[in-house]
Every structure is written in structure tokens, then in C-alpha cells.
DNA sequence: TGTACATCAGTGAACGCGCGTTCACTGATGTAC
DNA sequence: TGTACATCAGTGAACGCGCGTTCACTGATGTAC
């Protein structure tokens, strides 16, 4: 077979991006412990050996995938909410929806991996922390000026927490009880709107 | 070596309980995909082969472990809150605390596995659903009679969602930012108390 | 601009290991007489 | 109550497979002259 070695700088960057994209998607779909490096490399059109030319370990790839996933996710959220209803209620509607629950592979890394990151390395925890701050900051900015800085910060963080729990639970119960899945999302959206309007 | 076969009915029940206990603890500590059946059997003082005399598959063991974990977890919550402050605020204080975050191995199965159950089988989803209903019911009962049945149900579910998200996130960011970990719990506790007192 | 050559991204075989599951076998327990 | 024997929980070797990681090798790219 004709094997192509030593690739152009352009192709190198492309391959790296493909690895991160594939990892990001597969980790969200199957869990961090649920995908192997070989499957990720294959999905990126490479062999597993090549992965180690880009990342020193699977943990480093997890961190890179998390960072990329959050970057895309936060940007998409800001853009969508800005176009639709750039208020706190707009964020609540965006975050607490069945569309959000169904977006697993290209959804938010936080809802997909929340109960797994606590068991990963330091680098992963650091990227997860940045992701949380990024999401909370976006929500905070949309909270009315009536609230104090402290109140806004608290509401921003608590909104993300409620969102993550609701979507993760909604995914967990969906197979057994689709109605309950909707109910959890609706109940959490209701609670947040009640608080948002003081 | 002197190998003991065919065990008494008493020992049989003991072994089954030991398997479920070990599985329940290890799944919470290391994740469902993070522990193998051999490790669980070893922790229960058995070999992996014996596990299949009790459960047809790992998935069935996961379901049994989830059921047992929720049973114990809900009972402990009810007892503790009843002794301390049997109000909605009492539940919020119990659920949103750093003690809850630190109780991983013997804590709540929901916070430990929320982002993993969506990828398991039907039986697991069913047990997870029952666990959610059990926790929400306990919280609902403590909500003041001023609220309508619908409002109480909604607040019960949303409280569990917020709790699960906050504790899972608090665990995820703890390594990288312990202060933020506390902040998320505190912010969520604050939000829920604000809503609870209307 | 043309030539010689060092670099290094990617390949694919191999490392030791653990995974979930199966199964022939064992022998104390529990039962039938 | 005593004896004969069927049951079946538990053992441990084995199944095929995938895991994360390493490494000798390849050869087009990019660079130095």
C-alpha cells in the first residue's frame, strides 16, 4: 500500500483539529471512559500512533477536547441568545429545552461529562473550570442591573448548576420515562424564570 | 488450597449483599465504566465467576447497585433532615453542602453517575427514574402548604436538578479551584432558599 | 533557483494488561427417604 | 434420626477483544547551502 508520511504544516494542523473534533464529539456521545484512543484516531482518519505525535496522553487529549468543546459551545450560546432574546430569560429558554437535552454529540461538554471530570486529571479539571466561568459570565451579563454584583454572580453560577443537573437527569430518565424527562426540564426552567424576575 | 463450594442460604444472601454494596461504592467512586466486574467481586471477597450466579450481566448489577444506593441514600436523607430541620430549607441545607460534595463513595448515586446513566441500558434508566422520584417526593413533602400541588411538584424536581448539577460541578472544579467549588454550592443553596421562602 | 539532507508526522506491530462473559469442575448444603 | 444423593454457589482457567502507550521505521516536507 502507498503510505503517506511527513505531512505538510497545513495538513498537520488539519489533522490536529480533526483529532480534537472527533475526541470532543465521541467523549460527549460515549463518555470519556467509553471511547478509546484508537476509535478517536480512526474517526479523524489517522492511526492511534499518530495521536501521540499531537498529545502526550489521553488525558491531554481530553483536556484539549474539553477546551475546544467549551469554546464552541459558549460562542454558540452567546450568538443564539443575542439573536433571539438577550435577557436572563433568553438564557433560561436556551439552556432548559428538550433541544438541549437531545444535542448530545455536539452539545455542551458540561452536561455530557459533569460526573466524569471529577475523576480525571488536573489539566481536565482546569479546562472544566474555565468552561464553567465562561458560561456563568455569559449568563451574568444578561442579568438586569437591579441586582448587586454578588447577586448576579450567584445567580449566574446557580443557573448553570441547575441547567447541568436538569439536562443530565433528563437524559438519564428519558429511556424509562420520557414525560418525566420533559417535566424536569420544564420545572427547572420555571424555577429559574421565577427567580430571574425577582 | 482448600476451596469452599456450595454455600449456605445465609452466606448466599450475604454474598449477594456484599456484591451489591461493593458495586454501589465502587461505581460512585470510579464511575460505572471505571470499574470492572473482577474488582467488584474481589472487593466482595469472591471471584468474578461467582458474580454471574447472582446477576446475568454487569448491566443488571449496575441496576441493582443503583436501586440499593438510592434506597439507602433517600432513607438517610429523610432521617437526617427529620432530626435536624424538617422544612424545605432543611432539605436545601442538607443537599447543598461541602459535606455532600465530599461524600463520594457513600454518597448519592445521582450526583455520582448523572452523566453516565444516559448511556446505560433500560433497567438502569428505570432504577434511576425511581431514585429521582424518591428524592423529589421527600423534598415535596417538606414544601409549605401555601404552594399548589403543581408548584410543589415543580419545586421538588427543580431542587433535585439544581442539587445534582451543583454537586457534580463542585466535584469537577475542586482540583483546579476549591474556592469556586464552594461558591457553586453556596450560590445554588442561596437560589433555592430564595425561592423556597417565596 | 537547484540540490542535498535533516526533520518529524504518521504507520503499524507489539507491549502488558484488564475487560465482560463462559464453562467444566468441585463439594458442602439441603432434601428425600 | 441416619443415610444417600441431587443441587448449585463458587472457583479459576480460558475466550476474544480492546485498552493506553511505545517504538523502529518510512519518506515527503521544509531548510540550508
For residue A4, pLDDT beyond 60: no
What is the pLDDT of chain A when averaged over all its residues? Answer: 94
- For A4, the grid coordinates are 503517506
What is the number of CB-based contacts under 8 A between chain A and chain B? 191
DSSP state of A64: H
pLDDT per residue as tens digits for the range A104-116: 999 999 999 999 9
Chain B residues lying within 8 Å of A33, measured CB to CB: 31, 33-34
**The C-alpha cell that represents A143 in the structure block:** 442579568
Chain B CB within 8 Å of residue A88 CB: no
Cβ–Cβ below 8 Å for A119 and B195: no
Are A168 and B173 within 8 A, CB to CB?
no
Residues sharing a CB contact under 8 Å with residue B37, sequence separation 6 or more, in sequence order = B48, B51, B58, B61
Query: How confident is the model at residue B171, as a pLDDT?
Result: 97
For the cut 70, the answer to whether the pLDDT of residue A7 exceeds it is no
In chain A, which residues have their Cβ closer than 8 Å to the Cβ of B114? 114-115, 165, 168-169, 172
Distance from CA of B54 to the nearest CA of A (A): 24
Chain C: positions less than 7 Å from a protein CB are 7-14, 18-24, 26-30
Q: What is the pLDDT of residue B1?
A: 33
Cell of A152: 448576579
User: What phi-psi label fits residue A6: left (phi over 0), alpha (psi between -120 and 50 degrees) or beta?
Assistant: left
What number is the average pLDDT over the span B95-120? 96
Using the Cβ of B174 and the Cβ atoms of chain A, whether some distance falls under 8 Å is answered with yes
A192, A162 contact by CB (below 8 A): yes
Query: Which residues of B spanning 81-120 put their CB closer than 7 angstroms to strand D?
Result: none
B2-25 pLDDT, tens digit per residue, is 345 556 788 899 999 999 999 999
Q: Residue A197: which pLDDT band, with cuts at 50, 70 and 90?
A: confident
Model's pTM, two decimal places? Answer: 0.94
Predicted confidence (pLDDT) per residue in B132-170, tens digit: 999 999 999 999 888 999 999 999 999 999 999 999 999
- Cα separation, B140 vs A67, whole angstroms: 38
How far does B14 lie from chain A, in Å, by closest CA?
30
Q: Report the pLDDT value the prediction gives residue B6, as an integer from 0 to 100.
A: 56
- pLDDT exceeds cutoff 90 at B75: yes
Residue A11: predicted pLDDT = 87
Q: Which of A111, A161, A189 to mutate to test the interface with B (most CBs of B within 10 A)?
A: A161
Q: How far is CA A104 from the centre of its chain?
A: 9
Contact status, residue B194 vs residue B162, Cβ threshold 8 Å: no
Whether B137 has its CB under 8 Å from any CB of chain A: the answer is no
Distance CA B49, CA A158 (A): 46
Q: Determine the distance between A16 (CA) and C11 (C1') in angstroms.
A: 16
* Arithmetic mean of pLDDT, B45-54: 95
Which residues of B fall within a CB distance of 8 Å from A58? Answer: none
Q: Which residues contact A28 (CB under 8 A, 6 or more apart)?
A: A69, A104, A105, A106, A107, A109, A112, A113
Q: How far is CA B156 from CA A132, A191, B93, B139, in A?
A: 25, 10, 14, 5
- Whether the CB of B12 is less than 7 Å away from nucleic strand D comes out as yes
Tell whether A176 lies on the interface with B, counting CB pairs under 8 A: yes
Compute φ and ψ for B28, nearest 5 degrees.
-70, -40
CB B191 within 8 A of CB A195: yes
Say yes or no: Cβ of B187 under 7 A from any atom of strand D.
no
Question: Which nucleotide lies nearest residue B3, CA to C1'?
Answer: D11
Q: What is the average pLDDT score of chain B?
A: 94
Q: Round to a whole number and report the distance in Å from the CA of B45 to the C1' of C23.
A: 21
pLDDT tens-digit map of A55-101: 999 999 999 999 999 999 999 999 999 999 999 999 999 999 999 99
How far apart are the C-alpha atoms of B100 and B104, rounded to whole Å?
8
Amino acid at each position: 500500500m502507498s503510505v503517506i508520511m511527513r505531512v505538510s504544516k497545513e495538513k498537520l494542523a488539519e489533522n490536529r483539529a480533526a483529532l480534537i473534533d472527533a475526541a470532543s464529539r465521541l467523549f460527549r456521545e460515549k463518555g470519556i471512559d467509553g471511547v478509546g484512543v484508537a476509535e478517536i484516531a480512526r474517526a479523524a482518519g489517522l492511526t492511534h500512533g499518530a495521536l501521540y505525535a499531537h498529545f502526550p496522553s489521553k488525558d491531554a487529549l481530553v483536556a484539549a477536547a474539553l477546551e475546544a468543546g467549551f469554546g464552541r459551545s459558549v460562542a454558540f450560546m452567546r450568538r443564539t441568545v443575542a439573536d433571539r432574546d438577550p435577557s436572563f430569560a433568553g438564557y433560561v429558554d436556551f439552556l432548559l429545552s428538550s433541544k438541549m437535552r437531545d444535542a448530545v454529540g455536539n452539545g455542551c461538554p458540561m452536561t455530557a461529562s459533569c460526573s466524569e471530570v471529577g475523576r480525571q486529571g488536573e489539566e481536565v479539571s482546569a479546562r472544566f473550570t474555565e468552561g464553567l466561568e465562561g458560561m456563568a459570565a455569559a449568563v451574568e451579563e444578561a442579568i438586569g442591573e437591579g441586582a448587586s454584583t454578588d447577586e448576579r454572580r450567584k445567580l449566574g453560577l446557580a443557573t448553570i448548576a441547575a441547567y447541568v443537573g436538569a439536562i443530565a437527569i433528563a437524559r438519564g430518565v428519558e429511556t424509562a420515562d420520557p414525560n418525566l424527562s420533559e417535566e424536569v426540564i420544564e420545572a427547572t426552567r420555571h424555577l429559574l424564570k421565577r427567580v430571574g424576575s425577582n
